[in-house]
Amino acid sequence: MRTFEVPTREQVSPEAQGIFDNLKSKIGMVPNLYATIGYSANALSSYLTFQGEQAKGSFKAKEREAIFLAISEANGCAYCLAAHTALGKMNGFTEEETIELRQGRSNDARLNAIVALAKDLTENRGRASEANVEGFFAQGFDNAALIDLLALVADKTFMNYVHNLTQIDVDFPAAKSIEEPVLA
């Protein structure tokens, strides 16, 4: 199988270089997965715009991290599990909670409805169970929130697939296996 390398700034187009520079100034680094998408300046620019617009949707940052954990586990993406475990902790989740969210469940009824549906949508390619859809609406979500959730599934599935195909190095601390006991 082909080996993919994370491109350096010098190995991408001038447009992608500008995006790399912007990322570095905003977050202090260009994560390997973003750099890999940078092989296509169009894909990276489009993705970052899509991601930025989704942040304005129905879900708060902490809820988006919960969604991304459930999707990344369903898609088996080590990179996104590592990144969103770190980001989830930065947004207030404990290690144990990140593992529960990856399993598509939470003790919080609202989060439980969100991650159960996100996991179901991912695993069943958009054909979620009626119980999970109704559970989502029972938490007060509307059709706009459902469409926003689908957009987040598409967002994270894209990233998961980029890593699953390329297997580039993960530049975040590895996420624990969901089978590993969590030590307090």
Which pLDDT tens digit goes with each residue over 73-97? 999 999 999 999 999 999 999 999 9
> Which pLDDT value is given to residue 128?
98
Sign, CA dihedral 14-158-151-113, equals negative
Residue that is written with structure tokens 């859809």 in the block:
133
Q: What is the CA radius of gyration of the chain?
A: 17
**pLDDT, greater one: 177 or 45:** 45
| 156 and 104 assigned to the same domain | yes
**Residue 14 belongs to domain spanning:** 9-54
Rounded Cα distance, 34 and 39, in Å: 9
Instruction: Assign 1 a pLDDT band (cuts: 50, 70, 90).
Output: confident
User: Into how many domains does the chain fold?
Assistant: 2
Please check the confidence at residue 182 and state whether its pLDDT lies above 60.
Answer: no
How would you label 106-143 residue by residue, b for 16+ Cβ within 10 Å and e otherwise? Answer: bebeebbbbbbbbbbbbeeeeebeeebbebbeeeebee
| 27 and 69 assigned to the same domain | no
| 50 and 71 assigned to the same domain | no
